[in-house]
Amino acid sequence: MKKLNQEQLDTFIKSFQKVQSVHCDQKESLYYLFQLFSLFFEGITNQQNISFTTLFSRIAYSSVHFNFKSSLTKDNHLFRRLVEQGGLKTEELNSLYQLGVFVLWQNLQHVYDVSTNIEIKRPHLKLEKVKSERKSSYRRVIKAFVVDYEDLEDPKFHFFDEKQPHLKKVGFLEKGHFAKQFKRIIKYVSLPITINLIDTNVNEENQYWAKAFVYKPDLLIGVTSISECFQADGESSLFYLAKKVLPNTGSIYMLIGNIVNYFLDELIHDSELSFKEVIPTIFQLAPLEFAKMPDDALRNLLKKVEVHFDNLKKVVKNELIDTGITKEKAYLEPSFFSPEYGIQGRLDLYHFDKAKKQSDIVELKSGKLFKANGYGLNENHYIQTLLYDLIMESVYNGRVKSNNYILYSSLDAKRLRYAPRVRSKQYKSLEIRNDIVLIEDLLLDQNQEVFDNIFNGLQPDKVPKTFNFLKRDANAFHEVYSQSNALEKAYYKSFFAFINREFQHSKIGRHGVHETNGLASLWLDPMNEKIENFRILSYLEITENLSLEKLPIIHLEMSEKSAKLSRFRIGDIAVFYPDDGTEKSALNNQLFKCTLVDMNVNKVSIRLRARQKNLEIFQQFKYWHLESDTLDGGFKVQFDGIFNFLKSPDEYKQKVLGLLPPEKSKNQVFYNNSKLTEEQHEIVNRAISSKDYFLLWGPPGTGKTSVMIKSFVDYYYNQTDLNIILLAYTNRAVDEICQSIDALLGGEYIRIGSRYATLEKFKPRLLSLKTEGIQSRGELQCSLKSNRVFVSTVSSFQGRTDLSGITDFDLVIIDEASQLLEPMLVGFLSKFKKYILIGDHKQLPAVVGQDKAKTEITDTLILEKTNLSDMSCSLFERMYSMSKMSGWDWSYGGLMHQGRMHQKILDFVSPNFYENKLEVIDGIDRLVDKPTFESKDELTNVLINERMLFIDTPLGEELTKKTNEAEANVVSKLADIWVRIYHDNKRDLTSNDIGIITPFRSQISMIGDLMNPQLSKKITLDTIERYQGGSRNQIIISFAVSQYQLLDSISNVSEEGIDRKLNVALTRAKENVILIGSAAILKKKEIYKKLIDYCSFIDYQEILNYEI
């Protein structure tokens, strides 16, 4: 077992002693103590090959490997459980705090042999008695943390569970498929593991005999993904693998399915609708798909969907009513999560009658019957409803009856068909689900042999003849994979594992004080932890419900219980669910997928994915919560990207890998623009003249977007006939691109994306809005072809496969390329004749969730043949480094003159971040002149004239939150002083003048509470990450670091040793940078010591005592 080293242990003990000596709020002391408690178990269980998703599992594992006494294990779990469940009375907090102190000292003594001179006694608590297990009892689901295993005929294992967490229990799996599957999982996966025991009986000997189990239950697999593994002639998890490795291809059948689902939604709202009335709205569902269709194909499609419409109308008006399903009690497209069975799903129609305790599931299918089973249903459709039935069992804990139906909209009769519940079939579906998760786990590591064994299952000759679709997909995969060379295969498999780790991290993450459980945090993390980490908009109250309307909007406002600050931004996707008074509200109820469309300090507005007929649930609950949702589509794009790389022409692949240099152009282009500097002219012409690609490195303020992209568009739009796509990582950067080209193109371009993530002035350019008023395909085709320039985020554009075939793009220019991982671009770029990537790898990199050690390439062939060594590195950075090392100077260039930062700021930035090569642009007086502000006293004179100031503040006594009250007070006062300086100098204060940056949202909250509310619209207060790409005249930075351990959390150090976060923070400033923090703490890092030594100083009391 790995332990803390002596230095880490000493630091930990000091922190422990601090919490005992500092007098502060009881809740804060308890919360900090609990953080230390969690960090203790993190420290002794942080092994690379074990992924813990809960503190419960860390304690259970430690109790076995460190031989904790049963009483200590029991107290550890008691303290954990009482803190996690919250809701304690004030008088109970002190006793619980004392218990925490007691168990933490006991743990330190047991593991590290640490002694204390003070005798610490165990406090007496009024505890809930834990009910002992009744002999010969039945339990539907047990979440079991399995710590050891004996390979007997009936698999025997020992486990811990939440009900009696201090007791090690004995479990068995009954003979059959699950017993064999468990042995297979143990063969490949190291213990400990988490499983859910299903339908378990406890015998007289207290042995737990389970009929089935769910492996890694918090990793939710989609119901559709599982059901598609079932065919009339059998089932196989290889269907899932084939879908994962092959790119999505749209089809006419998918389009029909989407249209038919839309029909059902509309008819539930108005069963008297005519087909003629819905035709115009059909066109709006997929305008680009319709635009590509030949006339005959379109007429044929409309005939087909009219049949579906007529059939659905009959079902809604008659058949649903005959089965007891009423429109008034129907919900459309609700989602449900079930970590009991490890599945999630979104229903087409969910009917719930609370009085009768009766739920009904209707799954709509537009396809035809093929080899129907004994119930007259396609087997995969039947399995889908059985899985939904399991979800309902989980949500209602078996207390609600559920009827399951499949609605075949293409049939002339018997369209609504009953799908009876069969437990053995549900077991089989869970078995396939476990196989899927095992495949996912085996594809997490860069083990080439394991990959080969799994991919061999997709050899066409190994696929059963009856699995026609699987054989087709296997052929498609191996046609490409088998023709790839050894280096290309190694590249593919390494990145496949990398993407898969990111995918799992987004789903289940890992437990830790400074970690996240991904989507699983919805049910794994306590409410107080979500609030503390700003991951939830909690206790919202509905003020206006417009979910019946065509645009289903719900307006909410904060309640007295709401936390006012969160990580949410307009345009974010979320899950919306009611608060039922339990910690498991997200699992006990349906969830509504939605988009945040508006928000301010007190109000939030969301748009539901589907409009609702039944408003009962919205009226039933007072409080509602919003939490972040995840999209699997972003990972699918990356999987598709690396496969498309394998499909790419050999010459393209060799150039990307650095095996071939980019081709030199024989024709040099001379583009002239009087507004460009000599350096900008030279690089623009080199980029335009390049044949294959060009890599443009642009540090802050060098004009990457406002000058260079605008010049590229000017040349290619006015002097060529090429179609151009301009992309960026963030919507903000896309809006900046629109700003730079809007006047140049006279607004003649198309913006792809959401109206909720687009600046108001650019919304008329949106593709979705441009197509709203179009009534004919010809008009749409004409509109698309008349626009040669498209602008989008990378993710939005890659999601629009319907653009292919309408507009062929010749050139792609990508801004913020240093924030994009290689798999996002490497296959995508092969579709273009030329690409230009623009970025700055010395600023913030792409976000990666997995540990750094996991991102490093281990394959020797890749390391020998290419410069790829770290998969968390962007394609831009790798290719820029590759081109530079190879001397391919015709393929890359760097802008080394900037027009943003004053010389005094640049004098620190350039040598510390940019190799002393970054200089000011000649001719811009502001960059070297004295300030134009006049001061009225000594303090304002210092603030105005000293370009870089450091204000040393005392360490706060805040224990848990990453806050410093003294810093917050200084920031608030500084904001007031600068506002006064603007006023005294008769300057209007705009949103581009003053910015406040701090690394922690808790500090944002504290500063926001102290600041004048009227300044919130004029002064941007945000984290470093949100500021990248922006600039302000004055930047105020509050570090809020009160502990040495937190220094790493405010840094992002590159392999070159560049602190990229600090670089971004400092380079946002044009005129002044004011830094606020504890010099004693910050100077422990060399770069911060250099920074503080470079700055001028001012006493923080002078700021606080200043009278405005």
Residues 333/346, Cβ–Cβ less than 8 Å: yes
Residues 288-308: pLDDT tens digits? 888 888 889 889 999 999 999
Checking if the pLDDT of 601 tops 90, the result is: no
So what's the pLDDT on residue 3? 64
Q: Which of 405, 400, 384, 390 is nearest to 338 (CA)?
A: 390
Residues 888-906: pLDDT tens digits? 999 999 999 999 999 999 9
Checking if the pLDDT of 613 tops 80, the result is: yes
Domain extents for the chain? 6-112, 138-215, 244-431, 543-628, 690-891, 903-1105
Q: Given pLDDT bands bounded at 50, 70 and 90, which one contains residue 22?
A: low
Q: How far is CA 1011 from the centre of its chain?
A: 31
Indicate the angle between helix axes 55-65 and 70-85, nearest 10 degrees. 170
User: Helix, strand, coil: what percent of the chain each, to 5?
Assistant: 45, 20, 35
Residues 462-521: pLDDT tens digits? 999 899 999 999 999 999 999 999 999 999 999 999 999 999 999 999 998 888 899 999
Please measure the distance between the N-terminal and C-terminal CA atoms of the chain and give it in whole angstroms: 59
Q: Given pLDDT bands bounded at 50, 70 and 90, which one contains residue 807?
A: confident
Q: How far apart are CA 326 and CA 350, in angstroms?
A: 10
The arithmetic mean of pLDDT across residues 313-324, rounded, is 94
The arithmetic mean of pLDDT across residues 667-677, rounded, is 90
526 cis-preceded (ω within 30 degrees of 0)? no
So what's the pLDDT on residue 375? 95
Mapped onto helix, strand or coil, the DSSP state of residue 87 is coil
Other CB atoms within 10 Å distance of the CB of residue 224:
15
Checking if the pLDDT of 129 tops 60, the result is: no
Mapped onto helix, strand or coil, the DSSP state of residue 685 is helix
Q: What percent of the chain has pLDDT over 90?
A: 72
So what's the pLDDT on residue 356? 82
So what's the pLDDT on residue 122? 87
Beta bridge partners of 921: none
**Residue 239 corresponds to which amino acid?**
F
Checking if the pLDDT of 9 tops 80, the result is: no
Could you tell me which residue, 1005 or 781, shows the higher pLDDT?
Answer: 1005
Could you tell me which residue, 874 or 674, shows the higher pLDDT?
Answer: 874
Beta bridge partners of 625: 577
So what's the pLDDT on residue 1098? 95
Q: Given pLDDT bands bounded at 50, 70 and 90, which one contains residue 135?
A: low
Q: Which of 708, 698, 705, 729 is nearest to 842 (CA)?
A: 698
Residues 552-583: pLDDT tens digits? 999 999 999 998 778 888 889 999 999 999 88
Residues 6 or more apart in contact with residue 737 via CB below 8 angstroms: 705, 709, 726, 728, 791, 815
Indicate the angle between helix axes 650-657 and 633-647, nearest 10 degrees. 110
Lowest mean pLDDT among 265-279, 428-442, 773-787, 930-944: 773-787
Checking if the pLDDT of 797 tops 60, the result is: yes
Checking if the pLDDT of 830 tops 80, the result is: yes
So what's the pLDDT on residue 809? 87
- In this structure, which topology does domain 138-215 adopt according to CATH? OB fold (Dihydrolipoamide Acetyltransferase, E2P) (2.40.50)
**Residue 1103 corresponds to which amino acid?**
I
Q: How far apart are CA 496 and CA 642, in angstroms?
A: 8
Domain 244-431 listed as CATH 3.90.320.10: yes
Q: Given pLDDT bands bounded at 50, 70 and 90, which one contains residue 28?
A: confident
**Residue 478 corresponds to which amino acid?**
H
Instruction: Give the mean pLDDT of the chain.
Output: 91
783 vs 727, 749, 766, 778, 904, CA distance in Å? 20, 10, 12, 9, 50
Backbone phi, psi, residue 539, to 5°: 50, 50
Other CB atoms within 10 Å distance of the CB of residue 693:
22
Residues 545/607, Cβ–Cβ less than 8 Å: no
Q: Given pLDDT bands bounded at 50, 70 and 90, which one contains residue 269?
A: very high
The arithmetic mean of pLDDT across residues 65-70, rounded, is 92
Checking if the pLDDT of 1028 tops 80, the result is: no
So what's the pLDDT on residue 7? 66
Asked, colleague to colleague, whether 690-891 and 903-1105 share their fold, the answer is: yes
Residues 353-391: pLDDT tens digits? 888 888 999 999 999 999 999 999 999 999 999 999 999
Checking if the pLDDT of 911 tops 80, the result is: yes
Q: What is the pTM of this model?
A: 0.94
DSSP 731-781: HHHHHHHHHHHHHHHTT-SEE-S-GGGS-GGGGGGBHHHHTTT--SHHHHH
Residues 422-437: pLDDT tens digits? 999 999 999 999 999 9
The arithmetic mean of pLDDT across residues 2-20, rounded, is 70
The arithmetic mean of pLDDT across residues 678-693, rounded, is 96
Q: What percent of the chain has pLDDT over 70?
A: 96
769, two tokens? 């809005």
Q: How far apart are CA 368 and CA 1104, in angstroms?
A: 75
**Residue 833 corresponds to which amino acid?**
K
So what's the pLDDT on residue 1108? 85
User: Could you tell me which CATH number the domain at 690-891 has?
Assistant: 3.40.50.300
Q: Given pLDDT bands bounded at 50, 70 and 90, which one contains residue 1043?
A: confident
**Residue 71 corresponds to which amino acid?**
S
Lowest mean pLDDT among 457-466, 641-650, 802-811: 802-811
Say which residue the tokens 């008769």 belong to: 986
Could you tell me which residue, 1009 or 1035, shows the higher pLDDT?
Answer: 1035
Checking if the pLDDT of 127 tops 70, the result is: no
Instruction: Mention the CATH class of domain 903-1105.
Output: alpha beta
The arithmetic mean of pLDDT across residues 538-554, rounded, is 96
Checking if the pLDDT of 133 tops 70, the result is: no
335, two tokens? 């989602």
- In this structure, which topology does domain 543-628 adopt according to CATH? Elongation Factor Tu (Ef-tu); domain 3 (2.40.30)
Checking if the pLDDT of 958 tops 70, the result is: no
Residues 176-216: pLDDT tens digits? 999 999 999 999 999 999 999 999 999 989 999 999 999 99
Residues 1005/964, Cβ–Cβ less than 8 Å: no
